[in-house]
Chain A
Amino acid sequence: MAANEPMCESTTSNNSDSDVDSESLPSMPWFGMDIGGTLTKLVYFEPMDVEGEGNEEKETLRIIRKYLTGNVAYGKTGIRDVHLEMPDQVIGGRQGALHFIRFPTHEMQAFIDLAKVKNFSSLASAICATGGGAFKFEKDFQEQVNLQLHKYDELDCLIRGIHFIDRHNHSCECYYWARAGTTDSHLQNGHSASAQPSATHSDLNSPNHSRAVNGEATSQSGSSGATSSQSESNGPQHSQDKNAGSDTFGDGDWYKVPFDFRDPYPYLVVNIGSGVSILAVHSPTNYKRVSGTSLGGGTFLGLCCLLTGCQTFEEAVELASTGDNHKVDRLVQDIYGGDYGRFNLKGDLVASSFGHMMSQQRREEATREDLAKATLVTITNNIGSIARMCAATEKIERVVFVGNFLRVNTISMKLLAYAMDYWSQGVLKALFLEHEGYFGAMGCLIEYLKLGHPS
């Protein structure tokens, strides 16, 4: 429980579920839904302490469980991220497991149809939702399924969700990428600059500590999300980047290191969904959106679909993982023959993304993989660069990257880790969270429980 954790911040803040009055809790089922531009994310709390409850609730939960674990309710393209499941959670006095599910937002109509056919409204009278779709689909839910959508602010949910999951998964939720063979001193400096208790600090720096809980979870078979990159993050900690030799962020083995996120303030959240929102968070209740960009995950996937004919995000990332962006991008050394010494620009930096592609011959030589990689590097670097400037403007050193763009996407994470460190001379630290894209949905569930249910 979060309340038991050592915290520098006041524990009375309302980001914890400890102040949820179990008397006012809404009836089961408990869902949180985040309907984004591309993906809809669902968090479901499955109670395990149902003995002694009324039969009606039990039956409802049984049906829901059947749909969730049976992986049919969300169609062919829906996926439950089994490896992210959080068992043995106590929420609102109830014990149970948190499930994390996603499906493409363009399948929303299919979801609504199914809800109608299966008569979901008999199971629940309201669904709590955040994200743009909460507004966009409100009427559809109301009219077609007779389900009321409780709408919650997207950013409130995001922050609540980050805090909740981190509290409940603190030993392994937050991590950063470090590189073997290089001195990690700048990362350590960045780390110790935060007010961390030193005892946990050294403890958490053991690389093998990462993913202790979820490490044994395997990717769901049959899911298109199960890629080698995903299992890689569950495998050996010193994972070899497939393409390390030709990456702009240099050679070396990268590995994940847990980061104690219990006293994170202030920090920047860079939420990379279809687009990107950047928030400065100064306390559990004091945060604001400071910037954003339309070049996000949607741009990566959209361009990849157009350039390579790929169909899914996983496919796009997979293509990128074997591609070489140097065939597509023009590097500083392509222009200057080496470093641009006077202004400290290294030769292997990308000077012009897609800069080689104005040449017919180069276009013919570039493979789908190369194009996918270049797209990924372009989008990632651009986000990193905007995040860096926002961090400098806000005078914040910790930058937390979340959102489904990072799912199965170790290339981008490492690029971001490298870029934040390199361009800030070690001042900035890129942090990542295991539940990448689910914080909005999680926060939405928390908000829902906190506010209680009208019926």
Chain B
Amino acid sequence: MAHTNYARSIELPKEQIFRNLQNAKRFAIDIGGSLAKVAYSSDWQRRAPLVYDEPDSDGSIYNVAEKEETMVRLHFVKFETKYIGSCLDFILTNLIDSKEFMRDKIIKVTGGGAYKYKELITSKLGVQVDKEDEIECLICGCNFLLKNIPDEAFVYQRHGNPDYTFQGVDQDVFPYLLVNIGSGVSLVKVESDTKFERIGGTSTGGGTFWGLGCLLTQAKSFDDLLVLAEAGDHRSVDMLVRDIYGGAYNNMGLAADIIASSFGKATRIDGENFQKEDLVRSLLLCISNDIGQIAYLQARLHGLTKIYFGGYFIRGHPLTMHTIGFAINYWSKGEIKALFLRHEGYLGAVGAFLKGNEEQDAEKYSWGENLAGSSGLASPKSSYAHEGQIQHSIFDHGFDMLELDRLERPVLACPLLLDPSSYFPDTVDLMHDVDARTYWLKCFADSVDKNVQLAIKSQAEEPGVEERANKYKEKYLCKLRTLSVNPCAYGSLTVRSLLDTGSQCLAEFNFPDSYSQQKQQENEVALRQLPDHLKFLDALCGDTVNLALAKGLLAGNVFDWGAREVRELLETGQFSFLDAQKKLQDRPWLYDDFDAWSSRLGKDPPYRCAVIFCDNSGADIILGIMPFARHLLSIGTQVILCANSRPTLNDVTYSELVILVKRVAELCPRISDALASDRLVVMESGQGSPCLDLRFVDQDLVKAMQTRKADLIVLEGMGRAVHTNLHAAFACDALKVAVLKNRWLANRLGGEMFSVMFKFEKACKVSVSSNVT
């Protein structure tokens, strides 16, 4: 088919734009005055690790393989509304089952164009078109993104350090004002998922910028106009306070460089030729200022202190965000917050899709952002500059790429947190901390080759494995480079985000679990050592037991393939559990609450239920965690062992742990009894990260914590207790245990390589208002 006149936004190879279109199952379209946004869900085949129990095999404790797994992924595409016909043709010809497949389907359509293009869609795709209210979809989409994407909303502060401040997951999102800037502007007061009201609007919006911009400059596209605006100087076009007063108007508190009259200088008839860059910049400032002021006035009238901006006007454009944010800050004297959205353009499409989804499938799903597929925000650095040439680069990444993966199971905030709304998982903000950022970006870039090797090794027999591994490398390094220019490009930058992006990039190229054989082998070795280790522990008496268990936990935690220096030790093949114990720092440890911990264990009543988040496979889980859990069980505490739902590094996964615990039970009657009596349970955490984000924990685990009245949380390993949750406050007692296996980080924390963190924190006082149920 000929699609020669596509807008630039879809001139890219179509398979990149309409990713995975052939497996599309359900569509929703948001047709705006100028841009159309398509959301579609596709079945996405990818490899997943398979761990299975086959006792008669050759002495292995379990078997590993890879299976094809079908997951559901939500894709978003935008294009200019005028190309809707050819885009529909493209969709049709690329669907596997073509028109017949669509015949009895229903497509949700929203936006102003729902009316205009209804017939076209029906006739082209042969589907039934269901119109959904535009504003309802916007609100639905906005609430969804704020709930499911932790770094969706941000405050923009020019020359801030960092320029972007992400808002995390706002637990009390309502009430807020949504300012949707499409061709025109709608202002909607949102009080709950179902209660909202359009309180105003203005016709001076994105269409005005685009339309007037074209008239003034002959430029064609919106993005071209933004590029022009970057290079302009509005002071030759606008009349400033300075131009009227000769300086500031102090009586009114108006600074000299405030715009008194937009385009006020264009009235001069002395034949002056205005630069088109200057005109567009003036136009952008004028419209952004105006929208900011109107948003502020409405927010104040309705007593709202948070304003979210959606639509397709801002596009992460720093000058626009600065202008709108400045206006709101100026008028409200800092009392009202302007919040921008990373995926501002897709609110309506998300909402329309969800409406269709709800009707088909009553189940509530959780969705996670596919970090490998997300595009980055513009770098504030490049847009400060006044040279036009480099400006093109800020749009190259495609500000608006978004893919959401449907999680198999719903996730919820961990009920053991003292205050989920103030909880932030990460310890170090790499957007702010330049030293740490420099170190970690380099550290992760340096480890890429090793990951490539491992990935290839894990699928050595496969044809084309090297090519895939190299694609992973390219993708991940590209992300790291983007981050070195704009640390805020993909949301909060933390060690966690870097680790997770790495894992998801690997999975994207069908390397779901490079460590599976490694883990299996280490588990087998550790399991063989377990009986002797248990015997050794059982021979101890009194306080020495607790210390030995603690040291076992720590020694086990040394076995971490994610830490480079340890990896070198492990690669020798000679490093034993005993060696690990010798490596540990002598007491007093860097953080040493052991005495308090030991004394608590000696007291009555014992803990009701301990929730343990496990770290590595092998010695860590089998020789460290299992004896520790066994001891807790023996003093009357129930234990929930939590492992990752999805693999990452050599962290033990839920499916592995289920089998491992079964094997341990075969060796140890106490574990066997506990399993049988349900005092010991293995559960999945809902995560696939070496770190732990307690805002998104598997729903069943949350339920178990509640019904068993968990009163102790144990976080093990650097990822879960140092990179994240180091400062997390819990409503119950918490034990945070890790061995510092990164010299740079250890030094930073005032310790050395193999320094020990053994933090025991009593339950924080729960204030009535923030009581967690």
Contact = CB atoms under 8 A, between A and B. Distances in A.
B262 A294 contact: yes
Interface string B194-220: 000010111111111011101110001
B53 interface: no
Interface stretch (A46-54, A110-118, A229-237, A351-359): A351-359
A352 B33 CA distance: 9
A189 interface: no
9 contacts: A132-B246, A155-B252, A294-B261, A330-B184, A335-B33, A363-B214, A381-B202, A385-B200, A392-B301
B49 to A, nearest CB: 49
A302 B266 contact: yes
Contact of A37 (B133, B208, B210, B264): B264
B183 A351 contact: yes
Given A354-B208, A393-B301, A274 B260 contact: yes
Interface string B222-241: 10000000000000011101
B286 A294 contact: yes
Nearest to B285: A294
A350 B203 contact: yes
Nearest to A378: B204
A343 B199 CA distance: 9
Contacts of A295: 204, 262, 286, 290
A294 B184 contact: no
Contacts of B286: 294-295, 299
A365 to B, nearest CB: 12
A222 interface: no
A437 interface: no
B113 interface: yes
A306 B297 contact: no
Nearest to A349: B203
B33 A330 contact: yes
A386 B297 contact: yes
Given A355-B211, A358-B210, A363-B214, A298 B203 contact: no
Interface stretch (B87-95, B170-178, B267-275, B409-417): B267-275
Contacts of A289: 252
Interface string A309-350: 001000000000000000011100001110000110100011
Contacts of A371: 215
A84 interface: no
B611 interface: no
A357 B211 contact: yes
Interface residues of A, number: 64
Given A294-B238, A299-B286, A329-B203, A352 B184 contact: yes
Interface of B: 33-34, 82, 112-113, 115-116, 133, 135, 182-184, 198, 200-208, 210-212, 214-216, 220, 222, 237-239, 241, 243-247, 249, 251-252, 258-269, 274, 279, 286, 289-290, 293-294, 297-298, 300-301, 331
B294 A305 contact: no
A36 B244 contact: yes
A389 B261 CA distance: 20
A355 B183 contact: yes
Given A302-B266, A345-B201, A357-B212, 11 more contacts: A135-B245, A135-B246, A274-B239, A293-B293, A298-B263, A305-B267, A305-B269, A351-B184, A351-B207, A355-B203, A358-B210
A299 B262 CA distance: 5
A303 interface: yes
A358 B262 contact: no
A450 B211 CA distance: 51
Interface string A141-152: 000000000000
Nearest to A38: B267
Contacts of A357: 210-212, 214-215
A274 B261 contact: yes
Interface string A287-299: 0010101111111
A342 B133 contact: yes
B212 A343 contact: no
Nearest to B115: A337
A352 B183 CA distance: 5
A289, A302, A306, most chain B CB atoms within 10 A: A302
A306 B331 CA distance: 30
Contact of B116 (A131, A154, A337, A345): A337
A335 B297 contact: no
B204, B210, B274, most chain A CB atoms within 10 A: B204
Contact of B112 (A131, A350, A351): A351
